Amino acid sequence: MKLVKTMAMAATFFLAACGTTPQENKEIIGKTTPTIENGRLTPETLWAMGRIGSVDVSPDNKKIVYSVSYYSVPQDKSNTELFVIDTDGNNNKQITNSPYSEHSAVWIKEGTKIAYLSSESGSSQIWEMNPDGTGKKQLSNYDNHIEGFSVAPDGKKILFISQVQTVKSTAEKHPDLPKATGVVVNDLMYKHWDEWVTTAPHPFIADFDGHSLSNIKDIMEGELYQSPMKPFGGIEQLAWNSTSDKVAYTSKKKVGKEYAESTNSDIYVYNLKLGTTQNITEGMMGYDINPQYSPDGKYIAWQSMEHDGYESDWNRLFVMNLETGEKQFISEGFKSNVDDFCWNAESTGFYFTGVWHARSHIYSLDLHSLELNKITEGDYDYASLALAGEQLIAKRHSLSAADEIYAVQLDGNVNQLTAENKHFYDHITMGKVEERWIKTTDGKEMLTWVIYPPFFDENKKYPTLLYCQGGPQSPVSQFWSVRWNLQLMAANDYIIVAPNRRGLPGFGLEWNEAISGDYGGQCMNDYFSAIDEVAKESYVDEDRLGCVGASFGGFSVYWLAGHHDKRFKAFIAHDGIFNMEMQYLETEEMFFANWDMGGAYWEKDNATAQRTFANSPHLFVDKWDTPILCIHGEKDYRILANQGMAAFNAAVLRGVPAELLIYPDENHWVLKPQNGVLWQRTFFNWLDRWLK
């Protein structure tokens, strides 16, 4: 579409005064000193952990600049700081210490300076400093926030992202009604994700003399389109060529209903010398995103999906020869998505990350022979890539640890560079993570993770939770989450069953695509297969089974509540679809609804659509007999909050014990620290009430 018992605080925040600032909050939110109780992970500990963000390697491949975000539950705020470390893991140093959230740092001026974004001047602007954090200087003074930037290879220009207004405000249309709040809408895509759409991000190019920016130009001036594409696109959707005279950018040049029904984005190349723009992926009908020029300037690569309207299509790596114009699909040998990629130094191939069998690893791919090799192993997910000479710099996490930065040799040897959260892990016992292959009702084998409580005793009986994944086509891999953290659930003495049910990548194309148009079908049987098999274990109390999930996982919970045949004793659904007919008309990206539901509910001759809507959870409320907690955010414009409220109301009217946690200020996720801790306390209070 892309959690706890009330207990004593598990971590105490160390907040240092930073002197007088123009900001209301004059305290720095930084690394914490934890106080761990009973060796168990808690929500407070999760929120106290540092979160590693952007990573950039110096031109000489000897140093890395990276960001870490810290959160304060008492202040209900976050802050981001910058660090520098050698690529061999030595000399790790924090180089910023302020309340201004310095981030998006890159090396410039042949590695003698670091450029970054900061709000120190009141709006987000580009700054520079020495690699030791001294000599801070503001480079840009643009009249709007800068959201991302990239310096040209020759260092003489800067590409940056900023919002432009695309819709006049009510006050602009009616100057005599300055207090009117109504908005007149005449087309679709008036809302998206968590905002009313009034602006679009555009790419800007500016001359850079080493001291300041000048001659700023919007290369999409006058266009209503987005580049990068909301809600998640950033500077990775734009790229300089090797000679600094062209910029490739990603855009879906559509608006309104046409935008809502299509995923057909393209790669456009803007020629700085001529002021012209060329669409190099015209006729390629799905998402085309994230261009990267080869170091030798002879090729451009990007990620491409084939079908218009299918946002979870096979994400393929394409390459275009810039001299001949020939395009080639080069990742066909990898039957899963290319999630992140970078060129090798010789422009002869790539390194990329992709998920296979619920683990995301690093692979190499030769441009000419198409030879594919797996570089890394283990129960991990690698999440980003940067080339550093003869090695790769990557972030890595697992079900038991948050992101850290690693140096990966091309022979597969791995060296951990950062230990941002070691002071937590040293005092926490994580539960055992076990891989199981479970036979499904149609005779297939399904990988299922089982996570056991810390200090597990096989002679005891434990309440057990079925975890239902969202997406719907997001892998149940070695993911780490601050909210849906399976180790946190295990720390509260639950066994967790997390199946890679039908409709997830990493098990071949057929498995991934089996969910579209079949929401109430085999994927639900897969859930039953997983929980029924694990429930046979002597240490699982089959009379204390729960079921939890968000987004499509929330839909799954609502659907299972009407079909579970008394398996479960408690349900929790977050941001789930309850009434599919209303969802079809309420959501904003219609391409998703059309592809996954098969069409509109009024298409009576459309068998797929009719099967979909006949499986709407709201049609089976008469079978609901189990306590249910419904959670939703009112700024969720993907699945509107009335879905959660309707499910709660239905349960109450049916006489089923129910509770509703509603957030007026959260979207499809829960992002604020205190709201996050409230979420987790409510989550476990509900489970403990019915399963313990």
What contacts 222, CB < 8 A, 6 or more positions away?
none
Per-residue pLDDT tens over the stretch 224-233: 999 999 999 9
pLDDT at 33: 63
Mean local confidence (pLDDT), 150-159: 98
Q: Residue 629 and residue 158: Cα distance in Å, rounded?
A: 49
User: Contact 93/418 with Cβ under 8 angstroms?
Assistant: no
- The helix/strand/coil state of 684 is helix
| Token pair in block for residue 457 | 């005793």
In sign, the C-alpha dihedral spanning 455, 460, 463, 465 is positive
Q: Of 281, 265, 277, whose CA–CA distance to 228 is shortest?
A: 265
pLDDT of residue 150 exceeding 50, the answer is yes
Q: What local confidence, expressed as pLDDT, does residue 485 receive?
A: 98
What pLDDT sits at residue 28?
A: 80
For residues 418-447, give the mean pLDDT.
97
pLDDT number for residue 127: 98
- Cα of first residue to Cα of last residue in the chain, in angstroms, is 33
pLDDT for position 31: 77
Q: Are 211 and 200 in contact (CB under 8 A)?
A: no
What are the residues facing 114 on neighbouring strands? 107, 129
Average pLDDT, stretch 295-320? 98
Quick one: what percent of the chain has pLDDT higher than 90? 95
Band (34; pLDDT cuts 50, 70, 90): low
Per-residue pLDDT at 5: 26
Could you read off the pLDDT of 41-70 as tens digits, one per residue? 999 999 999 999 999 999 999 999 999 999
587-597 per-position pLDDT tens digit: 999 999 999 99
For residue range 198-238, what is the model confidence (pLDDT) as tens digits?
Answer: 999 999 999 999 999 999 999 999 999 999 999 999 999 99
Measured CA to CA, the distance from residue 655 to residue 190 in angstroms comes to 38
The architecture of the domain spanning 430-585+626-691 is 3-Layer(aba) Sandwich (3.40)
Which one-letter amino acid corresponds to residue 132?
D
CA-nearest of 380, 307, 375 to 344 is 375
* pLDDT score for 30: 77
Half-sphere exposure in the Cβ direction for 30 (13 Å, CA): 18
Query: Judging by DSSP bridges, how do beta strands 628-633 and 658-663 pair with one another?
Result: parallel
Q: Which amino acid is at 691?
A: L
Specify the long-range contacts of residues 418-422, CB closer than 8 Å, at least 24 apart.
418/52, 418/66, 418/83, 418/85, 418/89, 418/92, 420/31, 420/49, 420/50, 420/52, 420/68, 421/49, 421/50
Q: Has residue 278 got a pLDDT over 60?
A: yes
Summarize pLDDT for 348-407 with one digit per residue, the tens.
Answer: 999 999 999 999 999 999 999 999 999 999 999 999 999 999 999 999 999 999 999 999
Summary mean pLDDT of the chain: 95
Q: Give the alpha-carbon dihedral of 583, 585, 586, 589, to 10 degrees.
A: 90
Is residue 6 scored above 90 in pLDDT?
Answer: no
| Residues with catalytic function | 551, 636, 668
pLDDT tens digits, 91-148: 999 999 999 999 999 999 999 999 999 999 999 999 999 999 999 999 999 999 999 9
pLDDT at 18: 31
* Cα dihedral across residues 286, 353, 405, 58: positive or negative: negative
Q: What is the mean pLDDT of residues 553-578?
A: 98
Q: If you count DSSP H runs as helices and E runs as strands, how many of each does the chain have, helices first? A: 13, 43
pLDDT at residue 29, rounded to an integer: 83
Which range (16-20, 374-378, 392-396, 485-489) has the least confidence? Answer: 16-20
Facing residues of 545 across strands?
464
The packing angle between helices 552-561 and 522-534, to 10°, is: 70
Query: Quick one: average pLDDT of 77-84?
Result: 97
Which strands, in side-by-side order, build the sheet including 570-574? Answer: 433-439, 445-451, 495-499, 462-468, 540-550, 570-574, 628-633, 658-663
User: Is 3 a residue whose pLDDT tops 60?
Assistant: no
684 pLDDT higher than 60 = yes
Could you give the residue ranges of the DSSP H alpha helices within 361-446?
422-425
Predicted TM-score (pTM) of the model is: 0.95
Residue 153 has pLDDT above 80, yes or no: yes
Q: Which two tokens stand for residue 321?
A: 């020869």
Q: What are phi and psi of 48, to 5 degrees?
A: -85, -15
Q: How confident is the model at residue 13 (pLDDT cuts 50, 70, 90)?
A: very low
* Dihedral-angle region of residue 193 (phi above 0 means left; psi in -120 to 50 means alpha; beta otherwise): left
Helix residue ranges, H only, 444-513: 486-491, 509-513
If residue 393 lies in a helix (H) or strand (E), which one and from where to where? strand 391-398
